Amino acid sequence: MKHQGTQGPASGAESVIRFEDVTKRFGEKAVLDKLSLEVVRGETLCIMGPSGTGKSVTLRHIIGLMKPDSGSIFVGGHEMSTIKPDDLRDLRRRMGYLFQDGALINWLSVGDNIALPLRETTDLTEAEILDRVNAKLELVKLDGAFDKFPNEISGGMRKRVGLARALITDPEIVLYDEPNSGLDPETSQGVDRLIRELANTLDITSVVVTHLVSCIRVVADRVLLLEAGNTVVDCSPEDFISSSHPRVKRFLGKDPD
Ligand SMILES: Nc1ncnc2c1ncn2[C@@H]1O[C@H](COP(=O)(O)OP(=O)(O)O)[C@@H](O)[C@H]1O
Ligand SMILES: [Mg+2]
């Protein structure tokens, strides 16, 4: 279904993530209601929308943690309902996921939290793992925090540890769920710049769930407003911010009334 203001990505580019009429119900409620979307290689799609509208559920479908009731999801060339377990494991290695709450393990040090995906999915030696973890700590500006524990560092630092862990396998696709939540403005801007830098320099395909206009200004190539499990608009960040669409204006708090 096409909506007013629906633009989609530039045609001709390689499709990395595609939803075709995806419906997901919990009980009676269709949380995703015939949702279609596409993200092409190297692109950053921001998903905005009121809370409870299916943003996190959308990310969980991309990573294969949830299956749709109907419709199709393609990620990295695989159809997610029929993907073989081995292929799903390979695909997961190519994806990073920054969970909304950071999801760090409290009894593991910062370094061990970041190393976890490497220990679980690769045969790297301990020395190789330490090198990679330290490189990622440097990337998120947490050099020296290897031996700290999650409860010894600030919320902003925990978020950046989650980011380092999402990036530790050098993924081609990174999903960020509210990367700015709980951060002070300065740290929040730092995270935005980092997401942009990664997308630019490593050609990462990204999906960022956010409710901040400041975030979409820095990171988004395209913005999708989700409401009740479907797309209201899908457009450039500039068009989104200046949109006259009543639901966009209401979401941005620019209700004419
Ligand atoms: N595992 C689940 N079981 C039942 N309901 C769920 C589950 N996950 C999410 N939901 C419901 O789906 C809706 C959308 O959730 P979510 O995608 O987390 O919202 P948000 O847009 O705020 O990220 C909410 O009403 C939530 O309660
Ligand atoms: Mg959410």
Instruction: Indicate the pLDDT class of residue 53, thresholds 50, 70 and 90.
Output: very high
Q: Which atom of ligand 1 is nearest to the CA of 49?
A: 21
State in Å: Cα 84 to ligand 2 middle.
28
Top CATH class of 1-94+172-257 equals alpha beta
pLDDT for res 11: 64
Beta bridge partners of 177: 209
pLDDT at 186: 86
Residue 222 neighbours by CB under 8 Å, 6+ apart = 7, 9, 43, 44, 45, 46, 234, 235, 236, 237
Kindly report, as residue ranges, where domains of CATH 3.40.50.300 are found in the chain: 1-94+172-257
Q: What are the start-end ranges of the E strands in 82-221?
A: 95-98, 173-177, 205-209
State the closest ligand 1 atom to the C-alpha of 229, by its place in the atom list counted from 1.
14
**How sure is the predictor about 121, in pLDDT bands with cuts at 50, 70 and 90?**
confident
Q: Which of 25, 56, 100, 227 to mutate to test the pocket of ligand 1 (most atoms within 8 A of CB)?
A: 56
Is there an atom of ligand 1 within 6 Å of 31 CB? yes
Ligand 2 center to residue 100 CA distance, Å?
7
Measured between alpha carbons, how far is 130 from 191 in angstroms, rounded to an integer? 23
pLDDT band at residue 10 under the 50/70/90 scheme: low
**CB 24 near ligand 1, within 6 Å:** no
Say what the pLDDT of residue 223 is.
Answer: 97
- pLDDT > 70 fraction of the chain, expressed in percent and rounded: 94
Q: Which ligand is nearest to the CA of 227?
A: 1
